[in-house]
Structure 1
Amino acid sequence: MKKTFGLLLSSLLACHSLFAEKPLAFGWIDEPGKHVDLKLGKRPLARYVYERMIPEDRQRTYKPFHHIYQSDGEGFLTKGPGGKFTHHRGIYYGFSKCSFTDKEGKKHRVDTWHCKGAYQTHEKFIRSHADSKSAGHTVEIAWRLDDGSVFALETRTLRFSLRPDDSLQIDFGSVLSTDHQPLILDGDPQHAGFQFRASDEVASSTARQTYYVRPKEGRDEAGKTKNWPADKDMTNLPWKAQSVVVSGQRHFTLYLDHPENPKPSFYSERDYGRFGSYFKTQSEPGKPVRIKYRLIIGTKERKASECARLSDEFSRG
């Protein structure tokens, strides 16, 4: 009897183990030539839009970028083509003033922010990973003149993970190389650098509900913004945070600037949901421009003290 009971118990435990729910894992789902989605189980988290530039559809396709989904996965938190300032695209990186002299001695001054005289193209996936803890990919992006010639190559890496409070952590890194001596990268805080743009719904409907949190003064009033150069203290900030309302849900984005990034940095913010920073620098052969930022995005609103703690965590990493 005891032997029979033991066998029965062992069988039940084996069945429980067999049918136990497996932990959710990150995974990439590609629509070749268009975009690749990142999901956690069935929950959409992010999308990399990498369609090649189509001359007849230039405005929609002139730069690759990353979308972020809303917390419920039902739509995008970030903005794509069209709407208020079509060149603003989710998580993106570029400079409105790129200048260099080519090997024939011809001077060029182009714009990879608005994509005037130049544009960006996804070239290839260098590597990609996804498991139960995180996901990420590294892609090669060419910065091209309008004649198609490449004047800089960027290796862009994004790593995604979920924090204990279910917010999405995005680590963004870029290495920009050139064969030109030198390639000058410049612009202004509104039209250059590493930036985040929330859904166009913010611009059309909820801008008055947008607020920012800053290192010195903490949370500001809804609708209030500060921008360099009018606000001289908007330089070399370790972090800044934005809160916007999309689809009736408030979302909070913390932008962390690593101390090793080029300095000085100058910050800009808008009530319609675009914020970030820029710096002036140059790339030379053998001396690429390296940057790293972190975004933490979720529905949890954070006080300045918590933002500062997360900034310290990033800076030490």
Structure 2
Amino acid sequence: MDCSHDAAQPSVGPAGVFDPPVCAVRRVFRAGLAGRKTVGFLVSHCGIGKGIGPCRLRLALCRLWQDHSLIRFGDFRVRKLAVTLYGIAHGFLIKESAAVPEQRAELHVEGEPWLGTVATPYNPAAHPDTCKVFTHLYSAYDGLPITKGAGGFDSHQRGLHIGWRSTEVDGQVFDTWHMTDCSQRHGGWLAEPGTVAAHSFIVEWCDASGGIFIREFRSLLCRHARYGARMFDLQSRLSAVDRPVTLRGDPHHAGVQIRLANEVCRRPWSTRFVLPGNAQRRRNDIVYDALWACCLADIRGKRHAILHMAHPANPGLEHMAYGIRAYGRFGAFFEADLKPGSPLRMRFRILWTEGELDAGECEAHYREYTSSV
């Protein structure tokens, strides 16, 4: 079901703060029959009175996700509740780490780690763990990542990552979001890591045989922000190698996105999103008329604010949307066409800090970004 053009608005909290889990629960209860049928399904399949084991619960949630008769009653609302519950269970029951250890190049500013770009060499025998190039954000509190790597709930979502679910190359479609039939491979450093406060490197987007269809030049330049916050400017240039490429998807499966630490999916009710005052948040957690979105989440007992900002010079802004999920994945979605010799250039700024940011503070950071770059 396509929910992108539905004008229904969610409940709005103070100063542009949206509460996805609460809104989702309200919608499910309004669905009435869908809510009762969902509860009945979980009771019957989890075996209330017999003890709910992890395997039984996981199986029930998987069945709920796949049961189209339930989806017909509650549309996306029951499906959303199912994936939220599945994410919570998955966060507690499934191993978070990947089988292949990450090979990170850390970026230090004044002796403290800020970023860690994962450049593990691609290994076809370990495709799920080595198929994507991404970057971790580090907490100023304990020097550890606040983003997720391979493993955990939705393993393909990792740190700051870029991809499109439908990437068409000369009639052949690749899924560069889930990386089921392709890979992103680190193609070398443009500047030696550690020599400057930036990571500049090449990402080769490859088909199953290793043929490169997109060559990307990605740069992450770190800067200090006000009040002790950290930020980096992302600049990416995507070039079609020898054939036209179309980049398509949807706000939850394409674009420039961030996935926070896996533990966030265990407590989605504690996650909040701060959005611009004129933003239109529509069904299925899709936000229009917004050039930034801020996620507030608890990680290792500390509240963190992560602000994702799109530069107004980016192409296709009239069709851009933010996808926001309470389990800790959010970012900017847009579509584009690549032709050999005509690269796509895009710019974003990511800012993160301990504590919370309100809408006014986020807007001030965004104005500073657009006036200085």
Which 4+ stretches in 1 moved above 3 angstroms?
128-131, 226-232
The structural deviation recorded for 1:179 is 3.1
What is the aligned counterpart of 1:137 among 177, 199, 202?
199
Q: Is the 8 A contact 2:291 2:311 kept in 1?
A: yes
What residue is the counterpart of 1:167 in the other structure?
229
The structural deviation recorded for 1:180 is 3.9
Counterpart Cα distance in 1 of 2:282 and 2:335: 14
Per-residue Cα deviation, 1:101-159 (whole angstroms, up to 9, x for no partner): 1xxxxx3100111002111000100124757xx70021011000001100010000001
Q: Judging changes above 3 Å, is the alpha-carbon distance between structure 1 residues 274 and 95 closer, same or farther for their aligned structure 2 residues?
A: same
The structural deviation recorded for 1:34 is 2.3
Q: Is the 8 A contact 1:228 1:268 kept in 2?
A: no
Q: Judging changes above 3 Å, is the alpha-carbon distance between structure 1 residues 314 and 80 closer, same or farther for their aligned structure 2 residues?
A: same
- Aligned ranges for residues 61-210 of structure 1 at < 5 Å? 61-101=130-170, 107-128=171-192, 135-204=197-266, 206-210=267-271
> Counterpart of 2:305 in structure 1: which amino acid?
F
The structural deviation recorded for 1:303 is 1.6
For structure 2, the residue ranges without an aligned partner over 5 or more in a row are 1-101
The structural deviation recorded for 1:236 is 3.8
For structure 1, the residue ranges without an aligned partner over 5 or more in a row are 1-32, 102-106, 219-225
What residue is the counterpart of 1:268 in the other structure?
323
Number of equivalent positions = 269
Aligned-residue identity in percent:
29
Bigger CA radius of gyration: 1
Q: Is the 8 A contact 2:276 2:363 kept in 1?
A: yes
Q: What is the CA RMSD across the aligned residues, in angstroms?
A: 2.0
Counterpart Cα distance in 2 of 1:253 and 1:211: 11
The structural deviation recorded for 1:227 is 6.0
Per-residue Cα deviation, 1:278-303 (whole angstroms, up to 9, x for no partner): 11111101111111000110114222
Q: Judging changes above 3 Å, is the alpha-carbon distance between structure 1 residues 214 and 81 closer, same or farther for their aligned structure 2 residues?
A: same
| Alignment pair present for 1:238 and 2:286 | no
With normalisation by structure 2, the TM-score equals 0.68
What residue is the counterpart of 1:38 in the other structure?
107
> Counterpart of 1:136 in structure 2: which amino acid?
A
Per-residue Cα deviation, 1:142-197 (whole angstroms, up to 9, x for no partner): 00000110001000000112224221111111000013442100111001000011
Counterpart Cα distance in 2 of 1:261 and 1:164: 25
What is the aligned counterpart of 2:350 among 288, 295, 301?
295
What residue is the counterpart of 1:214 in the other structure?
275
More strand, by proportion: 1
> Counterpart of 1:116 in structure 2: which amino acid?
T
The structural deviation recorded for 1:307 is 1.1
What residue is the counterpart of 2:127 in the other structure?
58
Q: Is the 8 A contact 1:128 1:136 kept in 2?
A: no
The one of the two structures with greater contact order (alpha-carbon pairs below 8 A, sep at least 6) is: 2
With normalisation by structure 1, the TM-score equals 0.80
What residue is the counterpart of 1:26 in the other structure?
none
